[in-house]
């Protein structure tokens, strides 16, 4: 590739100009490095090799500095995406995957839909962790009707529930204050602490304006089962796909169940297009009839019982035709993170972990908004800010250029 000097002293490769005045790495070169690493999945050793062969005097440390430091404006834009996406959506997809950091196993949670994607890595996965992620930058805990209803639904025993119901204090500024309250009221059993904490976090979410009618679509992982929860039909069928028939009769019965599931799926797709009360009743009856079926294969019977227990979440689409029938979008989005993890391994520094989450979130959101990720990176690093702020796009306050 041709390399030459412009009259201004910039180093150019083909049509790409890199400003390298007086040892300073200009915004185009910085954008190129960030783009190569986070979008094209080029590893740091290959980036340094490429730039060295092209004649750039740049060290591994400088590459690392460009990739992970001074990215607060990117982090802020990414974090604001979550609130904007949730407040301007009727449903979200959620999923998680493994994520190693500093040599330890952890998890990365994805939240998104057709308009945005948001990723965050944490040490553990649990319902408390998920509620904390949805809460965003807030750190408060709140006891209100939503919190108490949740605790009752999760069967918090009468004694700790009564203490909380009669509490004069309803708002707690941070985790330390909340834990002190629990200990001071002798709520120390692990299960009781967990249910009460989940309820207080949910109460804080609702108190902050979290839309209570937002549908959360998941693959039946327990940590995501809050508020209006819908299940993925693809994952529901996978339970049956894992069943191994022991004889020809079992195989025939299993194939019949598969056929019924996909007939239900097809009818639900038709219902989404044209909601109709007779079809709604027919689908519900078909589902109940399938779940009541008794076969000669006990493993299959137990799977049908599990399907019956999930009826509300699987048929929520009958009340909300706007929601999807599967969670494939979340799986497709999270594949980007998985590929990057396989190529580059684990992150080592906190800045590196934050940047991986931030740039995969921004990249996926740009693609969904029809924005070139190269243009976005170059625009933000050059501080031109001509491309609209992504959260404002989700709110519909501006239009993509």
Q: Where does the pLDDT of residue 401 fall: very low under 50, low under 70, confident under 90, or very high at 90 and above?
A: low
The residue segments making up the domain with residue 167 are 141-207
Same domain, yes or no: 177 and 148: yes
Same domain, yes or no: 370 and 335: yes
Domains contained in the chain, number:
4
Same domain, yes or no: 104 and 59: no
Same domain, yes or no: 164 and 203: yes
Dihedral angle, C-alpha 193, 197, 199, 203, nearest 10 °: 150
Same domain, yes or no: 57 and 12: yes
At residue 212, the pLDDT reads 87
Report if residue 222 sits inside a domain. Answer: no
Report if residue 310 sits inside a domain. Answer: yes
Same domain, yes or no: 253 and 300: yes
Same domain, yes or no: 360 and 388: yes
Same domain, yes or no: 307 and 237: yes
Report if residue 213 sits inside a domain. Answer: no
Report if residue 147 sits inside a domain. Answer: yes
Same domain, yes or no: 350 and 376: yes
Q: What are phi and psi of 229, to 5 degrees?
A: -115, 125
Distances (CA, A) of 125 to 51, 110, 122, 317: 39, 12, 7, 27
pLDDT digits (tens, 9 = 90+) for 143-181: 999 999 999 999 999 999 999 999 999 999 999 999 999
Q: What are phi and psi of 124, to 5 degrees?
A: -125, 165
Report if residue 16 sits inside a domain. Answer: yes
Report if residue 401 sits inside a domain. Answer: no
Which helix (H) or strand (E) element contains residue 278? helix 277-292
Enumerate helices (H) and strands (E) in the chain, giving the number of each. 18, 10
Report if residue 32 sits inside a domain. Answer: yes
DSSP H helical ranges for 310-349: 311-314, 328-344
Which helix (H) or strand (E) element contains residue 237? helix 233-241
pLDDT above 90 for 366:
yes
Q: Where does the pLDDT of residue 1 fall: very low under 50, low under 70, confident under 90, or very high at 90 and above?
A: very low
Same domain, yes or no: 128 and 145: no
The secondary structure of residue 21, as a DSSP letter, is: G
Report if residue 248 sits inside a domain. Answer: yes
pLDDT above 60 for 225:
yes
Same domain, yes or no: 366 and 384: yes
Which residues are CB-neighbours of 231 under 8 A, at least 6 positions away? 217, 218, 219, 220, 310, 313, 314
């Amino acid at each position: 590739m041709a390399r030459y000097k412009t009259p201004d002293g910039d180093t150019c490769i083909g049509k790409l100009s890199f400003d390298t005045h007086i040892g300073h790495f200009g915004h185009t070169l910085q954008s190129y490095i960030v783009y190569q690493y986070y979008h094209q999945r080029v590893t740091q050793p290959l980036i340094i090799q490429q730039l060295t062969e092209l004649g750039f005097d740049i060290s591994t440390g400088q590459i690392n500095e460009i990739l992970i430091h001074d990215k607060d404006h990117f982090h802020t834009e990414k974090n604001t995406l979550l609130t904007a996406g949730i407040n301007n959506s009727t449903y979200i997809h959620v999923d998680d995957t493994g994520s190693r950091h500093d040599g330890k196993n952890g998890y990365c949670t994805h939240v998104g839909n057709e308009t945005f994607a948001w990723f965050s890595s944490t040490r553990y996965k649990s319902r408390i962790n998920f509620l904390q992620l949805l809460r965003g930058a807030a750190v408060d805990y709140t006891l209100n009707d939503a919190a108490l209803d949740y605790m009752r639904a999760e069967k918090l025993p009468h004694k700790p529930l009564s203490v909380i119901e009669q509490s004069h204090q309803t708002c707690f500024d941070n985790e330390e204050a909340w834990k002190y309250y629990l200990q001071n009221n002798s709520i120390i059993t692990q299960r009781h602490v967990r249910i009460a904490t989940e309820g207080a976090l949910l109460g804080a979410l609702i108190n902050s304006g979290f839309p209570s009618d937002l549908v959360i679509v998941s693959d039946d992982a327990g940590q995501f089962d809050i508020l209006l929860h819908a299940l993925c039909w693809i994952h529901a069928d996978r339970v049956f796909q894992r069943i191994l028939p022991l004889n020809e009769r079992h195989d025939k019965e299993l194939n019949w169940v598969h056929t019924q599931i996909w007939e239900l799926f097809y009818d639900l797709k038709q219902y989404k297009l044209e909601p109709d009360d007779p079809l709604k009743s027919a689908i519900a009856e078909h589902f109940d009839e399938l779940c009541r079926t008794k076969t000669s294969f006990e493993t299959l019977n137990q799977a049908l019982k599990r399907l019956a227990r999930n009826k509300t979440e699987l048929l929520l689409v009958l009340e909300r035709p706007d929601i999807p029938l599967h969670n494939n979008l979340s799986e497709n989005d999270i594949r980007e993170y998985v590929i990057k993890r396989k190529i580059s391994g684990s992150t080592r520094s906190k800045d590196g972990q934050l940047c991986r989450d931030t740039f995969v979130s921004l990249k996926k959101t740009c693609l969904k908004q029809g924005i070139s990720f190269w243009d976005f990176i170059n625009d933000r690093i050059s501080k031109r800010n001509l491309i609209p702020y992504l959260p404002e796009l989700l709110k519909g306050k501006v239009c993509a250029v």
